[in-house]
Structure 1
Amino acid sequence: MSRTSPHEHHEHHEHHEMTEVSRRGLLRTAGGLTAALAVGGSAAALAGTPAGAAPATFTHPGMLHNGGDINRAKVRVAAGDEPWLSGWNRLINNSHSQSTWTPNPQATIYRGSGYPENYGILYNDIAAAYQNALRWNVAGTGANGDCAVRILNAWSNTLTSIQGSADRFLAAGIYGWEFANAAELMRGYPGFDLARFQRMMLNVFYPMNNDFLLHHNGACITNYWANWDLCNMASVMAIGILCDDGAKYDQAVNYFKSGAGNGSIQHAVPFLYPNVGGYDLGQWQESGRDQGHTMMGMGQMGAICEMAWNQGQDLYSYDSRRFFKGAQYVAKYNIGLDVPFTTYTWGSGTTCAQNSQTVISSVSRGQVRPVWALLHFHYNRRLYLDDKYISQMYYNLVAPEGGGGDYGSTSGGYDQLGFGTLMYAK
């Protein structure tokens, strides 16, 4: 496997690696279809949720997709409506979505230099489980449901450990939240051993996610880039939802708001630029590094915000919509326009040796990743905000979104589950 893609992760350069609104009632009554108007209104008029408070009862399905999302895709695809049909065609034409996919479960997954890396097996099987789960949910094809469950059961019966260099924490984070999302879509399916899958998530993934967020592999707190925190936060949140574990859900939300590392919102978007040509922008923490990892950050933080949204919590708008400003900044630069940049300085290693980036990085500029539909359809169609740059990024470069297998064979193409056109278009 190539180790030269700017979107691949190498340990040696991985240094650093609005009011809460209760919307569960809205989602239930509106099926996620017409809640936008109410949510776009006065947040103060809606019931508040205590900071970091998990819902008394978790909504299922309630991670990247709620029941309304699934129903909308089902109805629209059946009717042959665009853009859902184009999104559906991307799904059914992906080799991972075929019901003949054969899982290849491993007892130990390795990621990182100096180890017999096999993590590509895992991310391919996760993509297949998720894509087959989508096909089952949207079209009701039993063969796809059976395939998704076959993959999930095979891994929960086999995987006991994730090992490697520091990159093992990336594997535990990225593949943790993605795997949990596939399982969430198959809740209640005949033959799916949910309890055993939950045990795998609690025993194999969560301890590593928790260890990284607490100790950062023994490094200076600023050593690891934002994505390292974000993927582990997303995994903790997804495991909390999958297992109806309010403490874990709260752990992820609280880290988003005030965590010590670079994944918390004020560290991930360290500099704000009000009214640049009429739009508020926010510099992303990895912008001086490269644009591949920057766009990965859009996908990881987007997943956290959407999972929280589907449990009744609005992290998308937290801290005066700080993430929206960051996403607009990233999109503006990647459609080819100039953005301001403030010198970014951080401490690395175990001694916090000082490093600085003085200019934004053009590496991987304009790279296509399926992370933008989620953001466009939230900020523009649910909240009716002018998301000029996100919108241009989505419609001009990305739409319709595919998923794992459509964006190259290396890990960067599997750092997000994709298919946002199918599942989020409104």
Structure 2
Amino acid sequence: MSRTSPHTPLQRDELSRRGLLKTAGGLTAALALGTASAATTADAAPASFAHPGMIHNWGDINRAKVRVAAGDDPWLSGWNRLTANSHAQSTWTPNPQATIIRGGTGENYGILYNDIAAAYQNALRWNVAGTAAHGDCAVRILNAWASTLTTLTGNADRFLAAGIYGWQFANAAELIRGHSGFDLTAFQDMMVNVFHPLNNQFLTGHNDACITNYWANWDLCNMASVMAIAILTDDAAKYDQAVTYFKSGAGNGSLAHAVPYLYTDSDGYGLGQWQESGRDQGHTVMGMGQMGALCEMAWNQGDDLYSYDSRRFMKAAQYVAKYNLGSEVPFTTYTWGTGQSCAQQSQTAISSASRGQARPVWAMLHYHYNRRLNLDDKYIAQMAASVAPEGGGGDYGSTSGGYDQLGFGTLMYAK
């Protein structure tokens, strides 16, 4: 299976060095739902990491450059959405903190997610339009945090902060790693010393709770952070840690646990019940963005997690999209263990809370499954169209949910 998006000669060389995509087979019987098994090493890390190689590669950037310059839609509409965002202005002033708290007394994590959104959006403008002021702004933000932040803390929510803001921060840095003013070494040190220890602690210990206590997104954001840090620092062991957990982790973020039940609807489309579907649709759609980011980063390093286990993730995205478009989907009673004692709880019906909520997660999935792989992704495609052109942090409210995705998928993924 080969990529169909355009690449520069440099990227083609990198792809040939990494070889064919390492598409894995199905999950083993040991991964039956509710059964924790020892994870084997994925051995998936590329011999040479591609840069930029997280949620955007050179092909994405070059395509956006050409299409925006030509005034073509939908790229131009996506670009206009970006340039209208207050975070995307080169006058943004960073507000770095030594300590970030999420959960409990003294919460201040909103400062962090706003600055990350600004760094990413300015980095996009620098990459797509080449405007020096935006590159300089992204550098100022990331250098300021790299020289200031030493601690992430709070209640259990500190693990969410380490995960969500970890992979996002690393992605912003990846986009400007070649900028002459960027202190890449200092930023790498911050990611390794401040973010990764919490990511690793959560994935290996789950805050001393029952393995099923935490929702899929908790695992997913920490897996994505581990992978992003691995790519940023060319660390094969960390990369393998993330891929291994996706395939065989014991928690709810691994693929078999995140998508516990499979169906086929009356139109013949494969559907997969998402682990948080009985909770609410806001967190369920968030899961599409978190797992999507993980799969996109792996794809750009030569690993096809998108198609792992007979495209189980695609079936989940179809399920979530179909329900949020207003159609009904099947639901199997979902039971899990909570707290430290694994006390049982059950959900007997899908939740309609936040149904139809707009989040900028669908373009990444649609343009992968439909355009790269030429698959019929009916429900994903309809959801992508319904939220286009996608915005980013600052376009979906001021609370943390509006910043759980970096966004701007219409600009960066349309093909």
TM-score normalised to structure 1 length:
0.90
Is there any run of 5+ residues in structure 1 with no aligned partner, and where?
A: 1-20, 36-44
1:80 counterpart residue number: 71
Residue identity over aligned pairs, in percent, reads: 79
Query: Which residue of the other structure, out of 414, 421, 426, is the alignment partner of 2:403?
Result: 414
Deviation at 1:315, TM superposition (A): 0.2
1:348 partner letter: T
Partner of 2:392: 403
Q: 1:169-248 maps to which residues of 2 (within 5 A)?
A: 169-248=159-238
Letter in 1 for 2:132: G
- What amino acid sits opposite 1:266 in the alignment? A
1:58 has 2:49 as partner:
yes
Superposition deviation, residue 52 in structure 1: 3.7
Deviations 1:8-33 (A, max 9, x none): xxxxxxxxxxxxx686999566969x
CA contact (8 A) 2:21 2:304 kept: no
Asked whether the equivalents of residues 150 and 194 of structure 2 are also in contact (C-alpha less than 8 Å), the reply is: yes
Q: Is the 8 A contact 2:21 2:303 kept in 1?
A: no
Alignment of 1:76-225 (within 5 A): 76-112=67-103, 114-225=104-215
Q: Contact 2:273/2:319 (CA < 8 Å) preserved in 1? A: yes
Could you tell me how far 1:180 is from its partner in structure 2? 0.1
Cα pair 1:162 1:204 within 8 Å, conserved: yes
Write the distance in 1 (CA, Å) between the matches of 2:156 and 2:23: 36
State how far apart, in whole Å, the 1-side matches of 2:141 and 2:269 are: 45
Cα offsets for 1:80-130 (capped at 9, x unmatched): 000000000000000000000000000000001x32000000000000000
Q: 1:370 aligns with which of 357, 360, 370?
A: 360
Query: What is the Cα deviation at residue 191 of structure 1?
Result: 1.2
Q: Give, as a single letter, the amino acid of the residue that structure 2 aligns with 1:242.
A: L
**Across the two proteins, how many residue pairs are aligned to each other?**
393
Match of 2:240 among 233, 250, 254: 250
Tell me how far apart the structure 1 counterparts of residues 153 and 363 of structure 2 sit (CA, whole Å).
33
> Which residue identity is paired with 2:171?
N
Residue in 2 that maps onto 1:310: 300
Superposed, 1:224-373 pairs within 5 Å as 224-373=214-363
- Contact 2:22/2:302 (<8 A) preserved: no
Residues 379/278 of structure 1: CA separation in 2 closer, same or farther (3 Å cut): same
SS in 2 for 1:191: coil
Provide the rounded CA distance (Å) in 1 between the counterparts of 2:2 and 2:372. 15
* CA RMSD after TM alignment: 1.9
Partners in 1 of 2:224 and 2:20 — Cα distance?
26
Distance in 2 separating the partners of 1:308 and 1:284: 21
1:276 deviates by 3.8
How far apart are 1:275 and its partner, in Å? 4.6
1:47 Cα deviation from its structure 2 partner: 6.6
Q: Of 377, 380, 404, which residue of structure 1 is paired with 2:370?
A: 380
Secondary structure (helix, strand or coil) at the match of 1:285 reads coil
Distance in 1 (alpha carbons) for counterparts of 2:117 and 2:286: 16
CA distance in 2, matches of 1:105, 1:123: 11
Asked whether the 8 Å contact 2:3–2:372 carries over to 1, the reply is no
Distance 2:22 2:10 in 1: 19
Q: Is the 8 A contact 1:24 1:311 kept in 2?
A: no
* Secondary structure of the corresponding residue to residue 152 of structure 2: strand
Rounded Cα–Cα distance in structure 2 between residues aligned with 1:276 and 1:70: 39
8 Å CA contact 1:73–1:138 kept in 2: the answer is yes
State the Cα deviation string for residues 41-93 of structure 1 (Å, max 9, x = none): xxxx9575784420000000000000010000000000000000000000000
Between the aligned partners of 1:98 and 1:361, the Cα distance in structure 2 is 38
Structure 2 gap segments, 5+ residues each:
25-41
Q: 1:368 is aligned with what amino acid? A: A
What's 1:12 paired with?
none
Q: Is the 8 A contact 1:370 1:419 kept in 2?
A: yes
3-state DSSP class of the match of 2:213? coil
Instruction: Determine helix, strand or coil for the equivalent of 1:345.
Output: strand
**Separation (CA, whole Å) in 1 of partners of 2:392 and 2:172:** 13
AA aligned opposite 1:424 = Y
